[in-house]
Amino acid sequence: MVCGGRPLIGEVEMPAAKNSILPILAAAMLAQGAVRIRRAPRLRDVETSMQLLAALGCPAVRIDGDLLLAPGGPVGDTVPRPLMAAMRSSIYYLAPMLARGKRAHITFPGGCRLGERPIDLHLKGLAVMGARIVADGDHLDCAAPDGLHGTEIHLRFPSVGATETLLIAAAAAAGQTRIFGAAREPEVGDLAHFLIACGARIEGVGTDRLQVWGGALHGCEYTPIPDRITAQTVLCAAAACGGQVLLRRAPLAPLQPMAEILTRAGCGIRQLGENDLVLESDGRLLGVGSLSTGVYPAFATDAGPLLAAAMLTARGDTALRETIFSNRFGCAAQFARMGAELDCDGRLLQIHGVPKLHGAALTAQDLRGGAALVIAALTAEGESRITGVDYIRRGYEDIARLFGQLGAKITEVCLPVHTAASAGVSV
Ligand code: EPZ
């Protein structure tokens, strides 16, 4: 239940990036010693990763706020179907399974339904590194009897996930691997820095050409980078609601595109020291015209729905073109239920700002779209009820608490389960 219409004022600290910690947990399986991941958020996808690690014989335990793993023992060769289906990041486990155990039985990964999300780049890359992959329906039978070997790989698109799969594989492969057309997202760099902390040699981090020398890895302690998408969630909400927020652990560089857009919309944004950011807004935003999402360092696809939510009540128009996924704006129909004026034609979302939104019953259909509904509900007059919150939990440990620290009124309510018994039916 979100009670909207209040300014957001206060200070919040950004958690570790979901999209860093997920591949890092898979990569940790390669280490021959204890790995400690600091400040591991209690996200649904992190919990799924812990189940997956346990299923593969490499359990992770929580100690204080950290995750502790002791890799090095025998590795399982099968990921149960429900764990594959629970998130996209399950595919990150294929490379370490092949590197460590030489076999992997998996199914295609699940994840937010943002349109077609093939894994051909992951599989083709692993194949040229020596893996034999046979698909039978949605089952993938994979083996690397002679281990993985270094090679040259050219990605036709800078896929974040494929770059990460191949980085993990290359760190464990015999010899040298060169990846051309690599993704440059900060989370890819963070995975590379984790592998380097485990003893890997990697050059070109942060560029589209990565060079990796494979070898034995040791354990390490590692703190993933702060979550730039959570930071953008808070920035968009505070921009639209009005108020003043201080974001701790939110360096400006990866937030630059969003900071520029929100400045154009009328907000004041300034950096404090190296890692903190202040946003001030009177809540009367201006539409920002036409924008496109793109691969890093362009405006991030994950931030599209978040910005859209902030622009629903801006004066003037905003048009967002999504270039990465075909179904990014599933939240548009929910925005309309709150009185938003918009038109969504596949990858193009056109918003004509309205003076105010009203509370409504809403359903989250994916992670960032769900967070965008929370932002819209915070700006709306009255109360909104959002269901499908499990999607939001995949990437936000406790979104009610996150915004509660800024004065928002969000409560989690347990709706009565409509069981056969409660309906008075004997079974
Ligand atoms: C990562 O997904 C993120 N997920 C996504 O964040 C993010 O939206 C996306 O990168 C883009 O930045 C994680 O890091 C866990 P991609 P990923 O591979 O790896 C095509 C969130 O909300 N493609 O860069 O799946 C694909 O179809 C999530 O936190 C292929 O064609 O993204 C898509 O159009 C959602 N073949 C494009 O690349 C492949 O083998 C981008 O996918 C792989 C991808």
Answer CATH for 18-216 from 3.40.50.1820, 3.30.1240.10, 3.65.10.10, 3.30.1540.10: 3.65.10.10
Residues of the chain with CATH 3.65.10.10: 2-15+229-410, 18-216
Q: How far is CA 56 from CA 49, 53, 88, 321, 412, in A?
A: 11, 5, 17, 40, 34
Ligand 1 contact, 89 CB (< 6 A): yes
Computed over its alpha carbons, how large is the radius of gyration of the chain? 22
| 3-class DSSP assignment, residue 18 | helix
Q: Is 347 in the pocket of ligand 1 (CB under 6 A)?
A: no
Distances (CA, A) of 106 to 50, 85, 114: 17, 10, 22
- The rounded distance, in Å, linking the Cα atoms of 386 and 368 is 14
Pick from 404, 422, 283: nearest CA to 353: 283
| Cα–Cα distance measured from residue 212 to residue 168, given in angstroms and rounded to the nearest whole number | 10
Q: Which of 112, 142, 236, 241 is catalytic?
A: 112
**What pLDDT was estimated at residue 277?**
98
Identify the pLDDT of residue 421.
Answer: 42
11 beta partners: 246
Evaluate: CB of 301 within 6 angstroms of ligand 1: yes
Q: How many CB atoms lie within 10 A of CB 151?
A: 17
User: Which residues, 6+ apart, have CB-to-CB distance to 407 below 8 Å?
Assistant: 6, 7, 8, 9, 10, 243
**Does the annotation count 112 as an active-site position?**
yes
Residue 345 three-state SS: strand
**Local confidence pLDDT in tens for the 427 residues of the chain:** 999 999 999 999 999 999 999 999 999 999 999 999 999 999 999 999 999 999 999 999 999 999 999 998 899 999 999 999 999 999 999 999 999 999 999 999 987 788 888 999 999 999 999 999 999 999 999 999 999 999 999 999 999 999 999 999 999 999 999 999 999 999 999 999 999 999 999 999 999 999 999 999 999 999 999 999 999 999 999 999 999 999 999 999 999 999 999 999 999 999 999 999 999 999 999 999 999 999 999 999 999 999 999 999 999 999 999 999 999 999 999 999 999 999 999 899 999 999 999 999 999 999 999 999 999 999 999 999 999 999 999 999 999 999 999 999 999 887 665 544 443 333 3
Q: Is the C-beta atom of 91 inside 6 A of ligand 1?
A: no
* pLDDT at position 420: 42
CB atoms within 10 A of CB 413: 7
The structure tokens listed for 165 are 């799969």
Q: Is the CB of 123 under 6 A from ligand 1?
A: no
Residue whose CA lies nearest to ligand 1 atom number 15: 19
Domain 2-15+229-410: give its CATH architecture. Answer: Alpha-beta prism (3.65)
Nearest CA to ligand 1 atom 44: 159
Residue 248 φ then ψ, to 5°: -85, 150
| 398 Cβ contact partners less than 8 Å away, ≥ 6 residues apart | none
For 44, 54, 283, the CA distances from 86, given in Å and listed in that order, are 10, 15, 37
Mutate to test the pocket of ligand 1, among 159, 229, 368 (most ligand atoms within 8 A of CB): 159
pLDDT at 417: 57
Q: What is the pLDDT of residue 117?
A: 87
Q: Check pocket membership of 164 for ligand 1, CB cut-off 6 A.
A: no
3-state secondary structure of 104: strand
Tokens of 262: 């929100």
Is the CB of residue 121 below 6 angstroms from any atom belonging to ligand 1? yes
Q: Whole-angstrom distance between the N-terminal and C-terminal Cα of the chain?
A: 33
pTM above 0.75, yes or no: yes
**Distance, CA of 141 to CA of 307 (rounded, Å):** 41
Residue nearest to atom 18 of ligand 1 (CA): 159
Residues 171 and 98: their CA atoms lie apart, in Å, by 12
Which residue owns the Cα nearest ligand 1 atom 27? Answer: 117
Q: Who contacts 287 (Cβ-Cβ below 8 Å, separation ≥6)?
A: 265, 311, 314, 315, 316, 317, 318, 351, 353
Q: Per-residue DSSP letters for 349-373?
A: EEEE--S--B--EEE--SHHHHHHH
Most informative mutation of 93, 299, 324 for ligand 1 (most atoms within 8 A of CB): 324
Tell me which of 160, 208, 232 to substitute to probe ligand 1's pocket, judged by most ligand atoms within 8 Å of the beta carbon: 160
How far away, in angstroms, is 161 Cα from ligand 1 center?
A: 6
